[in-house]
Structure 1
Amino acid sequence: MNEEHQGFSFAEAAVWLLGLVLTIQIGWLAYSMGQGIAGRPFADGRGAAAGATMAAVDSSAPQPANGPQLFAGNCAGCHGAKAEGGVGPSLKTAAGWTLAEFTEATLHGKTPDGRSLAPIMPHFADTGFSGEAATDQQLEAIHTYLGTLQ
């Protein structure tokens, strides 16, 4: 005789129920930790960043230009991480230009010898850096940074 098995045995049901309970507990723990990270206190009263402090930043105050960061975000994609060249040429020559020459090339695509830069080169007078108009301080910071890469 062949007896068909109907449903789960007690042991199988117990294992399945234990797995369900553990899954719910792990999910709840993850959710609770996420809530703590989002700024709500943990169950023991600790804040999300126990031991760390945060200071308010006055976003209206001008921030100093960061040459390496500006270069990485606006130039390195074409000219390479160390200005060694890539899609665009090496910037070793540009590092030797005066700030005025570098600014003219960066903003308007004109080199000191009067050449026009390739059409792929953005004219940052039009595009700005990260959607904001390029400032003299940013251009100086990038130019200074280029000088450190030599």
Structure 2
Amino acid sequence: MGEISEERGFSAREIGAAVGFVVLAVGIAYTSYYTGIGMSGGAGAGEMTAAVASAPVNGEALYASTCAGCHGAGAVGGIGPSLLGTAAWKPADFQQAVLHGQAPGGRTLAPVMPRFAEAGIGGETATDEQIEAIHSYVQSLP
């Protein structure tokens, strides 16, 4: 009643097939990875780029996400002062205030006012176009 156990090892052909499969899989993975980098603009990429039209900057949306928390909806004031008076400012004065905290006449704005030249807008460097769009939005308010 004794059972005879017969262990069988892998044949040279089976081992060769497994090694061949692993080499083939690694080769495909390597090629796919580096082809993907080339297509995405990473290391070794060609000069191929996608044409992306830049959307116009929405001053109302920028104001809502960047300014309204302090200056209130409609720029009527809140934690910060009303901005309705800034509608009459020259664009350069508005830009100086937003970017550097300097109001016309050399008045320094409160330290709580972010200096968007340093802080950026939406995690990126503030652009002239964004500041102009915000100013235009404020100017459009009644």
Q: TM-score, normalised by structure 1?
A: 0.59
Please say which structure displays the higher CA radius of gyration.
2
Q: How many residues align?
A: 93
Alignment counterpart, residue 92 of structure 1, candidates 69, 72, 84: 84
Q: Which deviations, in whole Å up to 9, do the C-alpha atoms of 1:97-124 show, x marking residues without a partner?
A: 0110000000000001111000000000
1:127 to 112, 119, 126: 119
User: Which residue of 131, 136, 143 corresponds with 2:135?
Assistant: 143
Match of 2:97 in 1: 105
How far apart, in 1, do the equivalents of 2:101 and 2:137 lie? Answer: 19
Distance 1:149 1:125, change over 3 A: same
Q: Aligned letter for 1:62?
A: S
Given residue 86 of structure 1, which amino acid in structure 2 is its aligned partner? G
The one of 64, 67, 72 equivalent to 2:64 is 72
Structure 1 unaligned spans of 5+: 1-57
Amino acid at match of 1:83: A
How far apart are 1:93 and its partner, in Å? 1.4
Equivalent position amino acid for 2:110 in 1: A
Q: Which secondary structure state, in structure 2, belongs to the residue aligned with residue 113 of structure 1?
A: helix
3-state SS of paired residue (1:133): coil
Q: TM-score, normalization: structure 2?
A: 0.62
Q: Which runs of 4+ in 1 moved over 6 A?
A: none
Q: Name stretches of at least 5 consecutive residues in structure 2 with no aligned partner.
A: 1-49
Which residue does 2:75 correspond to in 1?
83
Give the CA deviation at 1:59. 8.4
Distance in 2 separating the partners of 1:66 and 1:59 = 21
